[in-house]
């Protein structure tokens, strides 16, 4: 599916961050910091989230916030969706950047307040979802 089709169908993106960032994000929004945009994944499969947390996020946190971003609500246009160049990761095909400086969110966008990083799944557990 192309980025345009994904956006036109108003399908969700998910952003994962340590739970400690919750209060700041609710006040200041999601902000692009170290990369070209806001990192997101196009999957609500929790084992994909655990793979990203355990394989790509370099935080000592045990619990994570998962934020749902929908194109209509958050004014995301297909021109603002860029591919993630992370080729070595199993979840790379599901990952994108939303090229915006800031996306404001509210409580209703938070789908997990304290998602436990748990144990990293093996590739067989996630391969059908990638």
Phi, psi of 35 (to 5 degrees): -125, -170
Pair 3, 78: CB distance under 8 Å: yes
Assigned CATH for 3-129: 3.20.170
Vertex 17 angle, CA 3 and 8, to 5°: 20
pLDDT at 83: 80
Confirm whether pTM is higher than 0.85. Answer: yes
Pair 10, 72: CB distance under 8 Å: yes
pLDDT tens for each residue of the chain, 130 residues long: 788 899 999 999 999 999 999 999 999 999 987 677 899 999 999 988 988 888 888 787 889 999 999 999 999 999 999 887 666 567 878 889 999 999 999 999 999 988 887 766 665 665 665 6
Token pair for 35 = 């990369």
List the domain boundaries for the chain.
3-129
Pair 76, 14: CB distance under 8 Å: no
């Amino acid at each position: 599916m192309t980025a345009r089709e994904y956006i036109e169908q108003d399908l969700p993106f998910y952003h994962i961050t340590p739970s400690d960032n919750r209060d700041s994000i609710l006040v200041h929004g999601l902000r692009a910091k170290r990369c070209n945009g806001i990192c997101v994944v196009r999957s609500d499969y929790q084992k994909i989230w655990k793979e990203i947390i355990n394989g790509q996020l370099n935080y000592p946190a045990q619990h994570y916030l998962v934020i749902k971003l929908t194109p209509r609500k958050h004014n995301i246009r297909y021109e603002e969706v860029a591919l993630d160049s992370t080729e070595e990761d199993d979840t790379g095909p599901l990952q994108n950047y939303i090229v915006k400086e800031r996306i404001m969110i509210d409580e209703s966008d938070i789908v997990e307040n304290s998602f436990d990083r748990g144990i990293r799944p093996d590739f067989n557990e996630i391969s059908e979802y990638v």
